[in-house]
Structure 1
Amino acid sequence: MSQTAAQNIRDFDLLEMPMEGVAAYWLSLKKLVGNRRNFKGVDQEAEFTSEPFVRHLLEITFSGDMGEDRVRRCAAARGDLLRGELNRRLDLMRVAVLDVAGGENPLRTMARIAALYPVPPITTEKALGYAQELLRQAGEKPPAERFFDVSHRLQDDRLVVALLFYVLLSRHHGRMACRPFLEHLGSRFFADGMALVADGFDAPFVRKWLKKHKQVLLDDVRDKMSMSVELALGIKARLSYDDVFRIARSYMR
């Protein structure tokens, strides 16, 4: 793939990209490959994408001699692992949103967060210390500052600190103090949940919304992973572009 094409998919993300966008990625790959038997150019694609499932799928499909069944098993195992990680990060965000809604003590928030890990990625003392430092800086730095960001792609320790910051911010300055930060957040799930809280929706409604929307997001990612496996295998089998497109269309409404 050309450097320009690679640059366009550096931020490829299965959670954020719509099904049509994921299909377009694989169809563009098919156009570049054509019916060639040599996939040398395709396996180099893995180094240009930060999307972990797609990178893994490119590696196991186009590098080496894995058969179709083994590719499916490896892709399924990787998909389960990544969806599990995503589920936990969305749960972390859900804890923070609900504790903002309830004006919860950040120590109790951290206890709930820690319960989601076999071993927490950061100690309570460090997490609260960093979050309090962010609170001190909130009046000095712009809301778009990356340290205030919340995203499922953050390292776990950074995500925990950022979430505690919003619990502290709302506890000290009220829910509306979070408003200026929401449009700059990388996670729409967290931003939309926080917006519901800031708009005055009651905690039971927000809890139900977060639970339902989280499941919708996880199901959507599962379907994009499933489609990606079928399209990658179709490309490897040197199906025609029209047949690869028919596979993609099977997954789209």
Structure 2
Amino acid sequence: MHEHPDIDILQMPLEGVAAYWLALKKLVGTKRNFKALHDEAQHTSEPFVRHLLEICFGSMGESRIRILAAAREETVLSEVERRYDLMRIALLDIAQSENPRKTMAKMAARFPRCPLTEQRALTLAHELIKLIPERGAVKDHYFDVSHRQQDDKLMVTLLFYVLLARQQGKDACQPYLPIISSHYFVDGLALVIDGMDAPFVRKWLREHKNVLLRDVQDKMRMSTELCLGIRDRLDYDDVFRIARSWMR
């Protein structure tokens, strides 16, 4: 299969994730050879999906696969929650034109060992300020915010927006909305730009984060069952019934 750089179990709807696994079922049919799925594991950009493809089609038994899938699920949820918290900190500080040094300190507290120093983070964020185009639409990927970014890159980009809002006002963030990948951040930033009060934004970010985490947990658990169904060579209709169990 070709690479799927757009596969994102967090932001894809549940139906889209189910369709992905059903397409893999059609690909292998009832074959005993899962080479196509080993190839898919090498090319997919989605870490949880790749993990399932790597562990499900070897010699391990179902019970061990479930243990490993659950361990990876916990790791992914923890990582995503931390990145959402970093975004939440930045959004609330953008709303209040906070000192970026305070923002950095609050973000650093989310790590046992922060991936970069305050000086390094602020230096890089100031470098991004210098990249702001003088005219025309903002297109540069350097200004993107995504839950799939490495923590250090994400922190620098978030500090850029805090700096931008402090220097030029919240409205200066408006042109960047179309290039931001994270729905969570872009929706929160839109609320801030629209002037929603800080208590409302804080509550919205907290509740929406919980909804998103529950949603991705459902998609990971469904993916585990669908992958095992393919491994067990269930008929396509039975694999579809597994997926339908999660449909709302």
Q: Same fold (TM over 0.5)?
A: yes
Scaled by the length of structure 1, the TM-score of the pair is 0.95
Offset of 1:11 from its aligned partner? 2.1
Offset of 1:43 from its aligned partner? 1.5
Q: Tell me what 1:144 maps to.
A: 139
SS in 2 for 1:217: helix
Is the deviation greater in 151-160 or in 133-142? 133-142
- d(CA) in 1 for partners of 2:230, 2:120: 48
Letter in 2 for 1:120: C
2:148 aligned with 1:160: no
2:80 aligned with 1:79: no
Q: Tell me what 1:113 maps to.
A: 107
Q: Tell me what 2:188 maps to.
A: 193
- d(CA) in 1 for partners of 2:243, 2:166: 47
Q: Tell me what 1:225 maps to.
A: 220
Query: What is the root-mean-square deviation of aligned Cα atoms in Å?
Result: 1.1
Offset of 1:164 from its aligned partner? 0.3
Letter in 2 for 1:121: P
Letter in 2 for 1:169: L
- d(CA) in 1 for partners of 2:148, 2:5: 13
- d(CA) in 2 for partners of 1:139, 1:230: 47
2:11 aligned with 1:16: yes
Where do 5+ consecutive residues of structure 2 fail to align? Answer: none
Letter in 2 for 1:85: E
Offset of 1:181 from its aligned partner? 0.3
* 1:1-253 alignment, distance < 5 Å: 2=1, 6-7=2-3, 9-62=4-57, 64-140=58-134, 142-253=137-248
Letter in 2 for 1:24: A
Letter in 2 for 1:153: R
Scaled by the length of structure 2, the TM-score of the pair is 0.97
- d(CA) in 2 for partners of 1:209, 1:244: 36
Offset from partner CA, 1:154-173 (integer Å, 9 cap, x none):
11111111000000000010
Offset of 1:74 from its aligned partner? 0.2
Offset from partner CA, 1:74-114 (integer Å, 9 cap, x none):
00001100110000000000000000111111000000000
- d(CA) in 2 for partners of 1:105, 1:160: 15
- d(CA) in 1 for partners of 2:185, 2:162: 13
Where do 5+ consecutive residues of structure 1 fail to align? Answer: none
Offset from partner CA, 1:119-153 (integer Å, 9 cap, x none):
11111001101111211221448522111111111
Letter in 2 for 1:113: M
Letter in 1 for 2:189: M
Identical residues among aligned pairs (%): 60
Offset of 1:38 from its aligned partner? 1.7
Q: How many residues were matched structurally?
A: 247
- d(CA) in 2 for partners of 1:96, 1:85: 17
List structure 1 runs of 4+ shifted beyond 3 angstroms. Answer: 139-142
- d(CA) in 2 for partners of 1:196, 1:173: 17
- d(CA) in 1 for partners of 2:189, 2:240: 39
